[in-house]
Chain A
Amino acid sequence: MESLLVANRGEIARRIIRTAKRLGIRTVAVASDADTDLPYAREADAVVGLGDPAPATSYLAAERILDIAVHYGAQAIHPGYGFLSENADFAETVTNAGIVWVGPDPNAMRAMGDKAKSRKLMAEAGVEIAAGSLEALPDVAAAVAMAREIGYPVMVKATAGGGGIGMSAAFDDEGLRAAYDTARSRAERFFSDPGLILERYVERARHLEVQILGLADGQVVALGVRDCSVQRRHQKVIEESPPANITPDLVDRLSALAIRAGTAVSYRNAGTVETLYDVDRDEVVFLEMNTRLQVEHPVTEMVTGLDLVEEQLRIASGLPPTFDPAVAVNSQGHAIEMRLYAEDSLRFLPRPGTITSWVMPAGPDVRVDAGYTEGNTVSTFYDPLLAKIVVWGADRDEARLRAQIAVDGIEVIGPQCNAAFLAEVLADPEFAAGSYDTGVVSRIIARR
């Protein structure tokens, strides 16, 4: 592979360009009018303007991006995360145009794209899923009957939903009837699809996920587990690998589940199998699979020493991985990633603006994947992620202490950022003890 178009922006485009440069691959970046001054656009070997910043006409303009790839002679397209990365039709069009798609087969993307369908497929493949429906519920009576069968509490979800919208928990029949109506009207209004499913609701859950690689020869390998339970608005804020206080037995169970899930869809390239771990029942269930590189992939890189983008490019080119897949990947120490967002620390509301001062932490075992620098403007068009600060330590305590020092070293003037909130989480006794679950952020706020 000699040339690569990066169909993304910000920190992830910059991170992909960095690996491509190291491997001697020429890069073509795309940038909307809002992004032409960002570091990734300046660091690419060529940058092509996408004009109007609205995502639909810029980073989501599939046909246009493909035309650019053809015109500039790019041999491959890396979609990063978000935008076109999980668009199976785009992946197919790219492949049909004779360009290498740095991602999985479109069929695997489609199989994992729909909540109800992927649950059914996983159940058939023997992957543990949360008890509940395998297809859309016909009516509220069916919902109540199923809830009584699997036991309360339950969660009602829109089949086409995402980001927590159209999700409602219920603790009894009466609550379920109300939750069903609310979820149905939201699903209709927001997703133009009233389909609902019902699942057992896990009250005390950890969000544990497994990084997998589907190799060029068809083998699926697991590269370790990340804990992503620190979330606000159903979005991750701090991730770590390995998870705190995790037993070797649980790592084995999670890895086996992920390999089974990946194998069931003949998965190729990098992917993440997300699971919920029920703390009280010691049970793991499949949640969903992200058929792309994940935002938090650097924590896995910090403990394994691998470069996942390099592995992606090798797999897409039909090459074997840089490591021996017959030997378990060696994982050392502990890594923590903190997402620096342009949002306030109080209510997590987005705060765009022009950056007049930008100081990031530095030092041994500190990695900063930044999308912006001094003088850049953080616009309202895209997600609020400014940078990811990733630290490594010989053990979890060392990593956490280094993370605290790193956060103290952040100074962003212009847009408000959540550095104070990151410091608050790192100092929280529950986080420090490693005994947290997905409810930790709401408890931290309640303790204020």
Chain B
Amino acid sequence: MATEIQAEMVANVWKVIVAPGDSVAEGDTLVILESMKMEIPVLAEADGTVAELKVAEGDVVQEGDTLLTLT
């Protein structure tokens, strides 16, 4: 089952760490968001594989926007 990883706040996408097809472990950093001079790492909550990336570095995301999907 695919899990959607969402942004928890309005932010800029500062770094995209993973690429589609990468396998990730629980706790790995997937994307780093930046908002109000703070870097906020988005972590994998479970082991999985990156199915689809929905954002690129420099994008602005709103709260609730999907960043990527994990299977």
Report which A residues bind B (CB closer than 8 A): 163, 165, 189-190, 233, 342-343, 349-352, 380-384
Contact = CB atoms under 8 A, between A and B. Distances in A.
B15 to A, nearest CB: 8
A380 B11 contact: yes
Instruction: Specify the main secondary structure of chain A where it touches its partner.
Output: loop
B9 A351 contact: yes
Interface in B1-41: 8-12, 15, 35-40
Contacts of B15: 189-190
A384 B38 contact: yes
A350 B9 contact: yes
Contacts of B8: 349
Interface of B: 8-12, 15, 35-40
Contact of B36 (A165, A189, A190, A384): A384
24 contacts: A189-B15, A233-B38, A342-B36, A349-B8, A349-B9, A349-B40, A350-B9, A350-B11, A350-B35, A350-B36, A351-B9, A352-B10, A352-B36, A380-B10, A380-B11, A380-B36, A381-B36, A382-B37, A383-B36, A383-B37, A383-B38, A384-B36, A384-B37, A384-B38
Contacts of A163: 39
B35 A380 contact: yes
B13 to A, nearest CB: 12
B61 to A, nearest CB: 11
Contacts of B40: 349-350
Contacts of A165: 39
Contacts of B35: 350, 352, 380
Contacts of A384: 36-38
Contacts of A342: 36
A183 to B, nearest CB: 14
Nearest to A384: B36
Contacts of A190: 15
A9 B35 CA distance: 17
B7 to A, nearest CB: 10
B12 A380 contact: yes
A381 B35 CA distance: 7
B39 A350 contact: no
Contacts of A382: 36-37
Nearest to A235: B38
Q: A-B pairs with the 8 shortest C-beta distances?
A: A350-B36, A383-B37, A384-B36, A350-B35, A380-B35, A380-B10, A349-B9, A350-B38
Nearest to B10: A380
A48 B67 CA distance: 38
Contacts of B10: 352, 380
A351 B8 CA distance: 10
Contacts of B12: 380
A177 B38 CA distance: 29
A382 B37 CA distance: 6
A342 B39 CA distance: 15
A254 B10 CA distance: 42
A190 B41 CA distance: 13
A104 to B, nearest CB: 24
Given A350-B38, A382-B37, A383-B38, 13 more contacts: A163-B39, A233-B38, A349-B40, A350-B11, A350-B35, A350-B36, A350-B40, A351-B9, A352-B10, A352-B35, A381-B36, A383-B36, A384-B36
A331 B51 CA distance: 61
A350 B36 CA distance: 7
Nearest to B40: A349
B5 to A, nearest CB: 15
A352 B12 CA distance: 13
A350 B35 CA distance: 7
A383 B10 CA distance: 14
Contacts of A381: 36
B27 to A, nearest CB: 13
Contacts of B37: 382-384
A189 B8 CA distance: 24
